[in-house]
Amino acid sequence: MATQKLRIVVMNGQKIIQAMVGNEWETTGTIKKAEEGIKPGIYNIYLAKTPEDKKQYEGKILYIDKENEVFYQQIGKEFIVHRLNAINGKPAAGKDVAIEYDGQKRI
């Protein structure tokens, strides 16, 4: 889905999106206020897996990538990358949601 190697850095109430350029992490876009519910830390969302059919994913939405039409959800220590058009409704970063894949994708 996403082609860039991305991570999210959350500290001091701010959220920074970084991309791997060469062998270094570079900040992309602007530094924004972290959504309520997202704890400080480094989230390596480039390790995100694609969802499997007949499975439910329950966890916090970390980041919505409108450019690539995907969003990232944290389930425990793992990350799942979902397509925006695969669900009904509009996801919100910082919110806990359950997403079930059973032929009908939905939140």
31 occurs within a structural domain: yes
Instruction: Say whether pLDDT at 7 is over 50.
Output: yes
- Counting the structural domains of the chain, the total is 1
42 occurs within a structural domain: yes
Q: Summarize the confidence of residues 33-38 as an average pLDDT.
A: 95
Q: Summarize the confidence of residues 18-37 as an average pLDDT.
A: 94
**87-101 b/e with 16+ CB inside 10 Å = b?**
beeebebeeebebbb
Q: What is the pLDDT of residue 28?
A: 92
Q: What is the pLDDT of residue 103?
A: 67
48 occurs within a structural domain: yes
Q: Looking at the chain, how many residues does it have?
A: 107
Q: What percent of the chain has pLDDT over 70?
A: 93
Nearest to 10 by CA among 21, 18, 19, 22: 18
16 occurs within a structural domain: yes
**Domain range enclosing 26:** 6-106
With tokens 């994708």, the residue in question is: 105
- CA–CA distance from 42 to each of 9, 34, 37, 62, 77 (Å)? 5, 13, 15, 11, 11
Instruction: Say whether pLDDT at 16 is over 80.
Output: yes
- Is residue 104 very low, low, confident or very high in pLDDT (cuts 50, 70, 90)? low
pTM of the complete model: 0.88
pLDDT tens, position by position, 38-55: 999 999 999 999 998 888
1 occurs within a structural domain: no
